[in-house]
Amino acid sequence: MNTMVWKVDKYVDNLENNPQVVDAANFLRKNEVVAMPTETVYGLGGNAESDAAVAKIYAAKGRPGDNPLIIHIAEREQLTRFVAEVPVMAETLMDAFWPGPLTIILKKKEGVLSEKATAGLATVAVRMPDHPVALALLKTCGLPIAAPSANSSGKPSPTNAEHVLDDLNGKIAGVLDGGTTGVGVESTVVDCTETIPVILRPGGVTKEQLEAAVGEVHVDAALTDEAARPKAPGMKYRHYAPNAPLFMVSGTAEFLQSLVEEKRSEGLKVGVLTTEENASVYQADLVLACGRRAELETVATGLYDTLRKFNQENVDVIFSEMFPNTGVGYAIMNRLQKAAGNKLIIE
């Protein structure tokens, strides 16, 4: 398959009539799959009402079939087509964070969306992305679009079109190239089918922000307890992993450096994931600064690109510093834990 690339300047006016956007929308209407930029990562979009389109998403990614997809919409009125009810707390969250990096789980109407898109569940995960190109594409095609991250399943998510092509070139119809994404980690997923909302995946909207909007918010036990069964099926899978084994290191810089030296003495090529503040502290084969510790949003933005750079340099093992488990740091640590397969070395 020849994968087309449509470059679009997200700052131009009248994006809905942009020929590149219109072309990509036509592919979606034909039940082909197209990668699109969002404010979090690039998504691999397909018609959520079509079994054929959704099957192409799973096939291109190599994604497990019991891992449901997030449905992307451009206008809240679209919810009435496939959502059974919208609780008041969900409306409040939409008012506060849509468009934006927040996915809300609601009870679905039967017989509208592809059962493959929702993995046969009685609920549906929905969000409205905060990216002008994504919104223009969604409005132009007029469809609810199922869109997981546009990468091979288990690998670091894509934050630019080049990342998408690295994984999916020849496997999908096209990529709408709207430049580099902003937030860098995926949306927060909140279950609003209970009396109190429950965070199933931390992301671009923090727990603190959610609580400021609706009060008490719970966290799925599986996010802190490996033995607990996750409410979101996809959370049981390994995600975001670089090619080389990744270890999180809890301890001093001197301790992390000793681990580096031990592996280098074994003839291994060693990488270190750190921040700008500590980049000069380590001596390794590849030291990559992932943003600034003083501004964790920059770490979130650069995380997946940094993990992919380790792949490009073919390191044999990676040691990563830890980050505060609050605010957006909670999402960063969640992604690192998944990427490392929960491999943690404590001083």
Tens of pLDDT along 151-203? 999 999 999 999 999 999 999 999 999 999 999 999 999 999 999 999 999 99
d(CA 338, CA 344): 11
Query: What residues have CB less than 8 Å from 188, skipping those under 6 apart?
Result: 101, 102, 103, 199, 201, 202, 203, 204, 205, 206, 210, 331
- In the prediction, which pLDDT does 223 show? 86
Rounded to an integer, the average pLDDT of 26-55 is 98
Per the CB < 8 A criterion, the answer to whether 145 and 25 are in contact is no
Distance of alpha carbon 26 from alpha carbon 20, whole angstroms: 10
% of the chain at pLDDT higher than 70: 96
Can you give the pLDDT at residue 234?
A: 55
Looking at residue 224, its pLDDT comes to 76
Where residue 178 falls (left for φ over 0; alpha for ψ -120 to 50; beta otherwise) is alpha
Rounded to an integer, the average pLDDT of 35-60 is 97
Query: Which of 205, 206, 207 has the alpha carbon at shortest distance from 217?
Result: 207
Report whether 260 contacts 321 (CB < 8 A): no
d(CA 286, CA 272): 6
Specify the pLDDT at position 198. 97
pTM (predicted TM-score) = 0.94
CA dist 175 and 45 (Å) reads 10
Q: What is the mean pLDDT of residues 319-326?
A: 96
- Distance (Å, whole) CA 322 – CA 305: 18
Tell me the per-residue pLDDT of 281-313, one tens digit each, with 9 for 90 and over: 999 999 999 999 999 999 999 999 999 999 999
pLDDT per residue as tens digits for the range 75-133: 999 999 999 999 999 999 999 999 999 999 999 999 999 999 999 999 999 999 999 99
Q: What mean pLDDT do residues 268-278 have?
A: 98
Q: Put the strands of the sheet holding 344-346 in their side by side order.
A: 286-289, 270-274, 317-320, 246-250, 344-346
- The residue-averaged pLDDT of 318-332 equals 96
Confidence of residue 70 (pLDDT cuts 50, 70, 90): very high
Cα gap 311→315, rounded to integer Å:
7
pLDDT grade for 233, boundaries at 50, 70 and 90: low
Query: Does the pLDDT at position 347 exceed 80?
Result: yes
Higher pLDDT, 230 or 313: 313
Looking at residue 238, its pLDDT comes to 63
Closest listed residue to residue 184, CA positions, set 204, 214, 210, 206: 204
Residue 136 scores a pLDDT above 70: yes
Q: How many CB atoms lie within 10 A of CB 59?
A: 12
